[in-house]
Every structure is written in C-alpha cells, then in structure tokens.
C-alpha cells in the first residue's frame, strides 16, 4: 500500500532533481569561452565544450585549418584551428541578450 506522504516526497525529490539538471545547462557559455586558450588542441576544446554544432575544414599550402562553432541559447563560441591548435576565438550572444 502506498503512503500518500511518501509518494509526495518522491515526486518532490524527482522534480527538484530535474530542475537541478536543467540548471546545469549548456557548456557553451562565457565562462567556458574564457577557458579556451591560444594553442590549445582541438581535443582539449572538445573536452571542454563537447562536439561542435558545426565545423568546416580547409587545406592551404600544406596547412590544415578548421573552423568550428558551438551554439546554444546562451551564445555562440567560434574557434579557428590551424594544424589542430586554437589560433583565434570569438564569443557572441544572441541578439537581444546583454
């Protein structure tokens, strides 16, 4: 037989857990953007942000380059890699956010 008070506590605990998980949010934010440093490897950036939302590559004069973007509702992180290392980065907030 189920105790109504016990069931209430279980539902409350589950609700709080779901809210806590939702608050964790995306890894794409200004705090993680600040952790990206010039000459970090592509793998280091991926371990920080996860897989990019979009990427495109190119090969010029024997040098390989990659431009990757991580997009979330908090903003967009763009990183340019040359020979697998960060050479430039940018963070932009969605229009309307300050």
- Give 32's Cβ-side CA count (13 Å radius): 22
Coil vs helix vs strand at 96: coil
Domain ranges of the chain: 27-92
The answer to whether 79 and 91 are in contact (CB under 8 A) is no
Report pLDDT digits (tens) over 28-75.
999 999 999 999 999 999 999 999 999 999 887 888 899 999 999 899
Is the pLDDT assigned to residue 15 strictly greater than 70?
A: no
H/E segment holding residue 70: strand 63-72
Percent of the chain topping pLDDT 90 = 58
Report pLDDT digits (tens) over 74-94.
999 999 999 999 999 999 998
CATH number of 27-92: 3.30.1450.10
Task: Enter the pTM of the model.
Answer: 0.70
CA distance 79 to 35: 12
């Amino acid at each position: 037989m189920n105790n109504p008070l016990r069931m209430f506590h279980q539902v409350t605990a589950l609700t709080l857990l779901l809210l806590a998980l939702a608050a964790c949010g995306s890894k794409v934010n200004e705090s993680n953007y600040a952790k990206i440093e010039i000459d970090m490897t592509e793998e280091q950036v991926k371990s920080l942000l996860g897989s990019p939302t979009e990427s495109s590559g190119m090969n010029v004069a024997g040098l390989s380059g990659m431009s990757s973007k991580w997009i979330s509702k908090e903003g967009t992180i763009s990183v340019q890699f040359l020979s697998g290392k960060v050479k430039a980065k940018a963070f932009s907030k969605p229009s309307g956010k300050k």
